[in-house]
Structure 1
Amino acid sequence: MNQYQKELIKATIPILRSNGEDLTSYFYTRMFTHHPELKNIFNMGNQANGKQKSALANAVLAYAENIEDPSVLINVLKGIGTKHRSLNIQQEQYKIVGTQLIASIGEVVGEAATPEILEAWTIAYNQLAQIMIDLEKELYKENAAKPGSWNGWRNFIIKKITDESSEIKSFYLYPEDGQPITDFQSGQYISVHVFVPELGFMQPRQYSLSSAFNPEYYRISVKKEMGVASNPAGLVSNTLHSKSEGDIISISAPAGLFHLEKDSENPLVLISGGVGLTPMLSMLETNVNSIQNKKTVWVHGCRNESVHAFKDQIASLKEEVKWLETFTFYDSLESTNNQSDQIIEGRVDLTKCKEAILLEDAKFYICGPEIFIKKQYQSLIDLNVNQKNIFYEEFGPQVINLN
C-alpha cells in the first residue's frame, strides 16, 4: 500500500466515525444473504442485540486510524485471532468477508466511494486479512502441538449437570472418544457449538472453564439468559439448559488471553459480577491446588442470594484456609440480619473493601458485564492501582479497550 492510498483510507475516517454502524449493519445483512452458511459460525444473538456491528465498526475505525502502523493493534488482533482459532475460522472465510465488506462500502457510501477509495480499502483489507491469517496459522500450529489438543470441533458427552443457583447450571463434559484432553490456563474458555432449534442452524458461544484442570473432563457453568427489552433471550444458554445428561455437544480446545500468569507469586484480587465469577472459580481452584496458596481476595456481586452461584463452596473454602478473604455484594438483601463485614447490600463498591484489596504487588482480575468492568476498572485506577496490574474479560465481542 502506497502513501497516497493510506491518505485515502484516512480520508474515510470521518465517515466511519459517523456512519460506521450503519455500514457494518448493512454488511452483515448483505453477507448473510449471499452466504447463509456463515450463520452457523457467527453469533446471531450478538447480531440481534447490535454488539457485533458495534465491535466491527470500532475495529474498522481503529484500523483506519492506525493505517500508518497497524502493528500498534497487535494485542487486539491476538485476542481476535485467539477467538477465531476457537471457532475454527479458515482462510477462505476471510475472502468472503472481504468481498462483502468492500461491496458494502461502495453501496452505503455511494458516490463518495470512488474507484480509488475502493481499491485502497481492498488493499488495506487484504493486508489486514493476511496479518490475521498468518497469526492464526501459528495459533493452530501451537494448539495442535499440545498433548491432548485438537483443532476444530470435538464431541463431548454431558455426563453430569448440577444446579449452582436458580439460573446457573454446571455441565461436566467428557470426551466422547475417550482420548486425553489438553490442559488449560485458569481463566480461559472453550467454544461450544450446538444446534439451536429456534433458528434451524448451529450456533457457537464461548464459555469460561469454571474449574481447575481435571484430566477427565471440562466444566462450564452457564447462566440461562432471559430476554429483556431489546435484548433477546440467550439462544445457546437456553438450549444448553434444556440438555440432559448423556447428550453430546461439540466444543473447541481451550483458548483465551485472560488467565493467571504462570508461576506468578503475586497476591490475587478476583472481582466478578453475576456469571462473571466462572473464570475466577478456575483461578481460585488452581490456587487451592498449588503449593503457593497466594493471598486471594474474592469480591463478587449479584442481584440476591438466590442467584448467587457457588456461595456454599466459597464459604466452606474460606473456613478451611487462611489465605482467602471474601466480600459479597447483593443488590438486595432478604433480611438486614444477613448484612455483615463480608456480605454487603448494594452494587460492588471497591472503596468498601479497599483495605483488603490494596495488597502490595497484587494482580487484579475483573469479569462481568461491560458496565461492571468499566466501573471496577475506574475504581481501581482511582485507588492508584497500576493499570498494568489490571486484567479483564469481556463477554461477547470486544467493545471496550481500557488498558
Structure 2
Amino acid sequence: MLSVQSTPVVRATLPAVGAALPAITELFYRRLFEEHPDLLRNLFNRANQASGAQREALAGAVAAFATMLVERPDERPDAVLSRIAHKHASLGITPDQYTVVGRHLLGAVAEVLGDAVTPEVAAAWDEVYWLMANALIALEARLYEQASVADGDVWRKLEIAERRDESAGAASFVLRRPDGLPLPPFRPGQYVSVRAELPDGARQIRQYSLSAAPGRENWRITVKRERAADGSVPDGEVSSWLHAHAQAGDVLEVSLPFGDLTLPEGDAPLLLASAGIGVTPMLSMLDHLAATSSGRRVIVVHADRSPADHIHRDEQVELAGRLPNASLHLWYESGADLLPTPNVSTGRADLNGLSLPGGTTAYLCGPLPFMRAVRSDLLNNALTASAIHYEVFGPDLWLSR
C-alpha cells in the first residue's frame, strides 16, 4: 500500500507521468543498454526492443500499477503482476537486477520531466517503483521455492529427442533429459524459455508453450517461425535459428516451466479459444483432459488463416473427439469448404452464437486483436470479466492499448 504522504503526490502527477511514459521508457532502455550492453544481447528480446513493443508493455504495466495504488489501495497487486513474475522467473531474474533497473528508470523519469520532479515527487515515484519491484521479487521467490531451486537457477540442458515439421512454418521438438531421468512436472498451459546462441554470439531467449500434457516421459514445444510483416524488425531470431539448426540429438538450454494461464481442477465448464500458434497451450490442456478421461463440458474454438496453416489440426480434432462433452468450432479465413469436419465456418471467429453453460471459465491465446474480439463476444454472452483469462506471446500489451 502506498504511504499516506505519497498517495496525493502520485495521484496528482500520474497524468503527467503517464503521458510521458513513452519518452521515459525509451530513455530508460537506451541508458540501461549503454551501461549494460550484455543485457540486450543476452536477456532482453532484441526484436521487441527494435519494434518498441517492450517499451509499450513496460509503460502500460507501470501506469496500471500506479493507478491501482491510488484508485484501489486495498487490492493486492499479485493479480496484476503474476504474469510478469512468471515471465521473469522463466528468464532467471534475480533480486539484484531490480536495483539496476530502478536506478535507470527513476533517472529517466527525472530527466524527462525535469523541474517537475521535486524531491517529494521523486520520493513518491521511488516508492511506487519499489512497491512494484518488491511485490515481483516476492512472487518470483515463491515461484523459485515451488520449483525447489535457488533464485534464478532455472536453466537445464535438454536433448532434442525428435523434431517434426507440423506445417510449412512450424516445427515441434520433443525434449528429454540427457541422463534419462524424468523431467519436472508442470501444469497444462505453462511454457518454458529456450536460450539460443546466435551467430553473432548473443544468447537470446524466447518462451514456447509446452504443447502436450504433463505426465508424459518427455516435454514437447511447438515453434512457429516468426516472419517480420513489414521489414521494420528482423525475422524471429530464435525461431529462425531453431528451424534452421535444431535437430534430433542436439542439446538446448531450456528453463523450468512457468506461466499462470493454467487449467483449473474441478468439473466447471471450460472454453478454450485460440488462434494461430496460440493453439499450443490449449493442446496441453486438451491432452490432459483426454488423458484423464474428463467428463467436463469443454467448448474448443480455433481460428486460422486456412486449414493448412492450422498447426496440430488433426491432433486438436482427435483430442476434442475423445472428450464425451466437448464441441469443436473452427473458423478459417479461406479453405473452410474443403473440410468435412462439422462446425467449420469461413471468416473470423464469432462466438456470439455459441451457447455457453453457466459457470464457464474461458481461456484465450492468440494475437491481441483476436483475443480482444473474443473477449467482447464473451462479455456479450453473459460471461463476467473475472471468468476470462488470457496468455500473450511476447510483451503483454493488453493494458497499454
Superposed pair shares fold, TM > 0.5: yes
Match of 1:389 among 376, 387, 390: 387
2:357 match: 359
- CA drift of 1:332 comes to 1.0
- CA drift of 1:309 comes to 1.4
Are 2:250 and 1:247 equivalent residues in the alignment?
yes
Tell me, yes or no, if the aligned pair for 2:290 and 2:322 is still in contact at 8 Å.
no
Q: Deviations over 1:196-243 (max 9, x none)?
A: 225x31111111110001442111111111111235421111111121
Aligned to 1:380, the other structure's residue is in SS state helix
Are 2:133 and 1:129 equivalent residues in the alignment?
yes
1:114 match: 118
1:180 match: 182
Using the alignment, how far apart are the partners of 1:158 and 1:109 within structure 2? 50
Using the alignment, how far apart are the partners of 1:250 and 1:3 within structure 2? 46
Aligned to 1:351, the other structure's residue is in SS state coil
- Flag the 1:337–1:370 CA change in 2: closer, same or farther, 3 A: closer
Tell me, yes or no, if the aligned pair for 1:16 and 1:57 is still in contact at 8 Å.
no
- Flag the 1:78–1:312 CA change in 2: closer, same or farther, 3 A: closer
Q: Deviations over 1:15-61 (max 9, x none)?
A: 22222111101101110111112121112221122221111111222
Q: Deviations over 1:166-215 (max 9, x none)?
A: 211111111234333211111111111112225x3111111111000144
- Flag the 1:314–1:134 CA change in 2: closer, same or farther, 3 A: closer
Aligned to 2:242, the other structure's residue is in SS state helix
Aligned to 2:365, the other structure's residue is in SS state strand
Using the alignment, how far apart are the partners of 1:393 and 1:320 within structure 2? 25
Q: Deviations over 1:278-328 (max 9, x none)?
A: 001001110111143323222111101221111222334455554332121
- CA drift of 1:341 comes to 4.2
Q: Deviations over 1:72-130 (max 9, x none)?
A: 42211222222211111011100100111121112222222233322332333233322
Tell me, yes or no, if the aligned pair for 1:367 and 1:394 is still in contact at 8 Å.
yes
2:32 match: 31
Tell me, yes or no, if the aligned pair for 1:333 and 1:339 is still in contact at 8 Å.
no
Tell me, yes or no, if the aligned pair for 1:189 and 1:207 is still in contact at 8 Å.
yes
1:97 match: 101
Aligned residue pairs: how many? 394
Using the alignment, how far apart are the partners of 1:389 and 1:4 within structure 2? 36
Aligned to 2:147, the other structure's residue is in SS state helix
Q: Deviations over 1:320-368 (max 9, x none)?
A: 554332121111127x45476422111111134x14xx12333221110
- Flag the 1:112–1:316 CA change in 2: closer, same or farther, 3 A: closer
Q: How does the TM-score come out when normalised to structure 1?
A: 0.90
Using the alignment, how far apart are the partners of 2:300 and 2:81 within structure 1? 31
**Identity value in percent:** 36
Q: Does 219-228 or 266-275 show the bigger shift?
A: 266-275
Structure 1: segments with no counterpart, 5+ residues: none
1:58 match: 60
1:162 match: 164
Aligned to 2:272, the other structure's residue is in SS state strand
Match of 1:298 among 297, 300, 312: 300
2:260 match: 257
1:374 match: 372
Aligned to 2:205, the other structure's residue is in SS state strand
2:112 maps to a residue whose letter is V
Using the alignment, how far apart are the partners of 2:341 and 2:321 within structure 1? 16
Using the alignment, how far apart are the partners of 1:116 and 1:391 within structure 2? 38
**Structure 2 matches for 1:9-88, cutoff 5 A?**
9-39=10-40, 40-68=42-70, 69=73, 71-88=75-92
1:104 maps to a residue whose letter is A
Using the alignment, how far apart are the partners of 2:303 and 2:178 within structure 1? 36
Using the alignment, how far apart are the partners of 1:182 and 1:377 within structure 2? 33
1:374 maps to a residue whose letter is R
Q: Does 313-322 or 26-35 show the bigger shift?
A: 313-322
- Flag the 1:96–1:371 CA change in 2: closer, same or farther, 3 A: same
Using the alignment, how far apart are the partners of 1:125 and 1:95 within structure 2? 10
Are 2:315 and 1:313 equivalent residues in the alignment?
yes
Match of 1:329 among 306, 328, 331: 331
2:209 match: 208
1:251 maps to a residue whose letter is V
Are 2:283 and 1:281 equivalent residues in the alignment?
yes
- CA drift of 1:400 comes to 1.5
Aligned to 2:374, the other structure's residue is in SS state helix
Aligned to 1:3, the other structure's residue is in SS state coil
Aligned to 2:184, the other structure's residue is in SS state coil
1:127 maps to a residue whose letter is L
Aligned to 1:258, the other structure's residue is in SS state coil
Aligned to 2:136, the other structure's residue is in SS state helix
Structure 2: segments with no counterpart, 5+ residues: none
- Flag the 1:391–1:35 CA change in 2: closer, same or farther, 3 A: same
- CA drift of 1:7 comes to 2.8
Tell me, yes or no, if the aligned pair for 1:10 and 1:67 is still in contact at 8 Å.
no
1:44 maps to a residue whose letter is R
